[in-house]
Every structure is written in structure tokens, then in C-alpha cells.
């Protein structure tokens, strides 16, 4: 019996196999929970990135933002501004020697170009400030005084107050003989009975404390004080003081620089005190004596009795019981001042008799001309 072998076609075989798959489905795997998978498979490890072309360990970045640096650290790392070696090289440098020689020569030339002679005393002085500059300083000082008086709770007397009217009356007679009629004169009386003082700033700013008026007593006594204060401006004493301070400061700071800075401060301070006692204070007393003489002549020319000046300073002497020694003061003692005025009194009385009482600035005009021409009016050795 011949066996018949029959081959199924591929298509049918495929159909049959699919049918078989459908008839007997394969069992699906069962999972208990998602956490069992995580327990079964450990997490992946992160591998740090490797730098290309190098197997070296990455360096630590020490950069710091300069805006947030520690000031103590900056101070610790800072280099000293001045060193002894650097200063020694600076002192030995030829350029410094040239600068010092030229500066010293220029300073000496500048000094002698600004030497003046005070016409009434013959005193030589250094004055490098112009009248316009000194006037600016006076106006600024006047504003400061007004501010300080108001800030401290003080007040100025009104123009209708009898004391203010008295001061203005005296000034109306003194201004024509002052040689400074073109100034913008202002009179302010400070209400302070405990202060006995008055001063005239450059530019015509007059300040009088109310405590001075009872000691002055009358127009003549007040004219003695105001004439003295106006004389300071006529003789340009304010400019002279500013010039002397300028020269002293140049000497002091030059010494500090040449001696190595702050190590020379204590000897410089001592030198400044000595300079003040030996030069500044005696010069201040000479200025006061010159102002006494010029003021006495001006009040006499304005037809005020110069003998009232003696009475005023006698009352000032009684009011100032404890007066400092003259050698440490910028003002002469009241006794010395009275003695000088007595010596000048014959000249002042002659000036009053010669005056026409019309406010001619004869003496002041002569003084200004002599100051400009570097000549004497009269060389008095008692000033």
C-alpha cells in the first residue's frame, strides 16, 4: 500500500500555526507590585564626567569677586606706601634737589615781591592777598556769624532799637573819614549783654555786642572802639594775618614731608607753638597798637573827642579784673594801651582842631597813598 505523502503549502501552514496560537494562548507573566521590580533591579550608578584630553584631578577654583573681598585680608596683603629704602632713594634723587632749589628760590622771590611798609610805624610785613580776596573772606565770615548767632538762639537788635541807632549814628560820622566810603556797610547789633566786644570785617560788615554799649557810655567812647576796628581794615591787617598763616603752613608741611611724615608731627606742633609765641602774638600786639593810633586819628578827624578813648580803656581795665599776661596775648595790656594813647593825645587833639568836621578822609587817604608807594606818613617808634 502506497503511502501517500501530502505536503501542505506554506500559506496553509502559516494559517494553521496562527490557528494553533489562537487556540492555545500563552500564559502572561504576573507581577506582584512595582516595588518588586525596583527591589529586583538596583539603581544605575552615575559615572562622573571625565575631562577630555586629561586624566588629572580637576583643580579648585579660588577666584573671588573683587566686590566682595574681605577688607582685613586686603589690608594684610597691602604693601606699605612709604618705606625707609624708598624714602632714602627719594631724598638722594637729583631731581628732588633741583625741585627744592627752584622752589626755595621762587618762594624767596615771591616773599620779597609782596613786602609792604606800614606807613605809621615803618614795620615791614608780608602781604600777598588782594583787597578783593580779603573782602570775599569777610563776607563769608559775616554770613557764618549770622548763622551761628541764630543757631545758638541769639538775636540781632532791630533797626529801631536805640542801641542800633546809636551805633549807626557813630558809623555815619566815621565812614567818611575811613577812606572806605565805597564799601557796602552793614551794622548788626547782637543782643548779648554779657559780651563786651565789637569788630568790623572786610567789606564793611560791622558787628557790635550790646554788652559793649554800657562801657562805651556815649558816642565818643563808641567812636574810639569802632575807629580802632575800622583801622584794622584800613591797615589791611586781616590780609597780613592770612599771609602769615600761609607762610607758616608752608614751612610746617614742608618740614613734615622732608622728615618722613607723621613721625615729625610732635616736634612740628612744638615748633608751631614757639612760632606763635615768638612771631604771631607779638605781631598781633603791633597790629593792635597801629590800629589804636590810626583809630585815634580818625575819631579826632570826625570831631569826636579823643580823650574819651582814655576813659573807655580805663573802664575796660576795671571790667577785666583777670587779664592774661601781655606776652601770651595778641593784644596789649590795658595799662600799656592807656599809656600809649596818652603819648599820642597831643597829636590827636591837634588833628581834631585842624578838622573841619565835614568828614574829609585826610588821614585815611594819606595812609592809603603811603601804603601803595611804600613810604612813611610819620615813622613813629612808639607804635
**Among all residues, which ones are annotated catalytic?**
229
At what angle are helices 219-234 and 362-373 packed, to 10 degrees?
Answer: 20
The helix (run of H) or strand (run of E) holding residue 187 is: strand 186-190
- As a whole number of angstroms, the distance between CA 17 and CA 137 comes to 121
Q: Do residues 126 and 132 lie in contact, with contact meaning Cβ atoms separated by under 8 Å?
A: no
Residue 307, helix vs strand vs coil: helix
Q: Do residues 351 and 293 lie in contact, with contact meaning Cβ atoms separated by under 8 Å?
A: no
Buried b (16+ CB within 10 A) or exposed e, 39-51: eeeeeeeeeeeee
- Show the CA angle centred on residue 105, arms to residues 99 and 109, nearest 5°: 145
The helix (run of H) or strand (run of E) holding residue 198 is: strand 198-201
- As a whole number of angstroms, the distance between CA 53 and CA 55 comes to 7
- As a whole number of angstroms, the distance between CA 287 and CA 120 comes to 11
- As a whole number of angstroms, the distance between CA 277 and CA 259 comes to 24
Q: Which of 181, 136, 140 is nearest to 368 (CA)?
A: 181
| Residue 37 grid coordinates | 521590580
| Residue 202 grid coordinates | 572786610
Parallel/antiparallel/unpaired status of strands 124-126 and 115-117:
antiparallel
- As a whole number of angstroms, the distance between CA 210 and CA 145 comes to 15
For residue 8, give Cα distances in angstroms to 11, 20, 146, 210, 272: 8, 15, 130, 144, 133
Residue 116, helix vs strand vs coil: strand
- As a whole number of angstroms, the distance between CA 373 and CA 377 comes to 11
Q: Do you know the residue count of the chain?
A: 383
User: What is the phi/psi pair of residue 208, to 5°?
Assistant: -130, 130
Amino acid at each position: 500500500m502506497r503511502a501517500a505523502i501530502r505536503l501542505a503549502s506554506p500559506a496553509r501552514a502559516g494559517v494553521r500555526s496562527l490557528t494553533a496560537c489562537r487556540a492555545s494562548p500563552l500564559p502572561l507573566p504576573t507581577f506582584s507590585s512595582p516595588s518588586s521590580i525596583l527591589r529586583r533591579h538596583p539603581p544605575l550608578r552615575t559615572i562622573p564626567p571625565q575631562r577630555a584630553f586629561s586624566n588629572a584631578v580637576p583643580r579648585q577654583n579660588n577666584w573671588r569677586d573683587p566686590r566682595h573681598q574681605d577688607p582685613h585680608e586686603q589690608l594684610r596683603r597691602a604693601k606699605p606706601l612709604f618705606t625707609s629704602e624708598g624714602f632714602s632713594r627719594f631724598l638722594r634723587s637729583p631731581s628732588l634737589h633741583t625741585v627744592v632749589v627752584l622752589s626755595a628760590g621762587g618762594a624767596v622771590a615771591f616773599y620779597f615781591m609782596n613786602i609792604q611798609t606800614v606807613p605809621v610805624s615803618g614795620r615791614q610785613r608780608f602781604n600777598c592777598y588782594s583787597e578783593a580776596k580779603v573782602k570775599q573772606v569777610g563776607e563769608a565770615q559775616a554770613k557764618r556769624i549770622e548763622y551761628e548767632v541764630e543757631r545758638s538762639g541769639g538775636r540781632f537788635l532791630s533797626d529801631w532799637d536805640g542801641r542800633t541807632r546809636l551805633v549807626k549814628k557813630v558809623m555815619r560820622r566815621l565812614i567818611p573819614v575811613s577812606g572806605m566810603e565805597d564799601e557796602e556797610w552793614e551794622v548788626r547789633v547782637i543782643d548779648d549783654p554779657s559780651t563786651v566786644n565789637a569788630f568790623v570785617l572786610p567789606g564793611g560788615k560791622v558787628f557790635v555786642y550790646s554788652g559793649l554799649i554800657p562801657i562805651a557810655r556815649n558816642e565818643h567812647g563808641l567812636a574810639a572802639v569802632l575807629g580802632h576796628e575800622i583801622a584794622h581794615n584800613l591797615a589791611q591787617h586781616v590780609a597780613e594775618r592770612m599771609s602769615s598763616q600761609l607762610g607758616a603752613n608752608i614751612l610746617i608741611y614742608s618740614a613734615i614731608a622732608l622728615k618722613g611724615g607723621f613721625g615729625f608731627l610732635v616736634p612740628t606742633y612744638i615748633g608751631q607753638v614757639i612760632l606763635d609765641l615768638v612771631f604771631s602774638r607779638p605781631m598781633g600786639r603791633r597790629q593792635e597798637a597801629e590800629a589804636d593810633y590810626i583809630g585815634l586819628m580818625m575819631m579826632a578827624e570826625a570831631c569826636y573827642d579823643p580823650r574819651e578813648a582814655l576813659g573807655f580803656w580805663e573802664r575796660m581795665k576795671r571790667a577785666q579784673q583777670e587779664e592774661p599776661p601781655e606776652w601770651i596775648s595778641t593784644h596789649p595790656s590795658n595799662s600799656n594801651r592807656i599809656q600809649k594813647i596818652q603819648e599820642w593825645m597831643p597829636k590827636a587833639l591837634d588833628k581834631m582842631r585842624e578838622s573841619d568836621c565835614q568828614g574829609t578822609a585826610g588821614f585815611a587817604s594819606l595812609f592809603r597813598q603811603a601804603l601803595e608807594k611804600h613810604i612813611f606818613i610819620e615813622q613813629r617808634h612808639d607804635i
